[in-house]
Amino acid sequence: MSKKTEDQRGKVACPKLNSKMDIPNSPTSKCITYWKRKVKSEYMRLRQLKRFQANMGAKALFVANFAKVQEKTQILNEDWKRLRIQPVQLMKPVSGHPFLKKCTVESNFPGFDSQDMLMRSLNTVALVPIMYSWSPLQQNFMLYSYTL
């Protein structure tokens, strides 16, 4: 069912309002605001859907690459065991957060338990504006001598 319906006489009905209007005449302001809101919400929904699909694509690529790395590491470790070389430790993804690495801090002091944290990558930090940065300590002054 379409949002706008057109009858045989060339009149358009606004779905929110039950009144009919001629096409050459300007529609009512309520109908315009209704369609503006409708278009804006649909646009935002489509942008969110596109962003979600991009994130899911990136996650799928990460999982595929992670599986390839695990497979290659396993093959290398099997070869290295035969050559008596210390194997590489496999990175284990954390349950619930498969895309984050887990970092463990262990202490040699008694009474301190080991601490586990999820490692997150930092976004780039904005640069400090020039007005707040350090000014150079050296200043060049031009000296005029009137003792000539």
Tell me if residue 107 falls in helix, strand or coil: coil
Q: Per residue in 98-133, is it b (16+ CB within 10 Å) or e — as a string?
A: eeeeeeeeeeeeeeeeeeeeeeeeeeeeeeeeeeee
Q: What is the pLDDT of residue 40?
A: 94
β 11-13/20-22 pair status: antiparallel
Domain boundary assignment for the chain: 91-121
Q: What is the pLDDT of residue 116?
A: 79
CB-based contact 25:12 (threshold 8 Å)? no
pLDDT digits (tens), the chain, 148 positions: 444 444 444 455 555 555 554 445 556 778 888 899 999 999 999 999 999 999 999 999 988 998 898 899 888 888 888 887 776 666 666 566 666 677 787 877 778 888 877 776 666 667 766 666 665 555 555 666 666 5
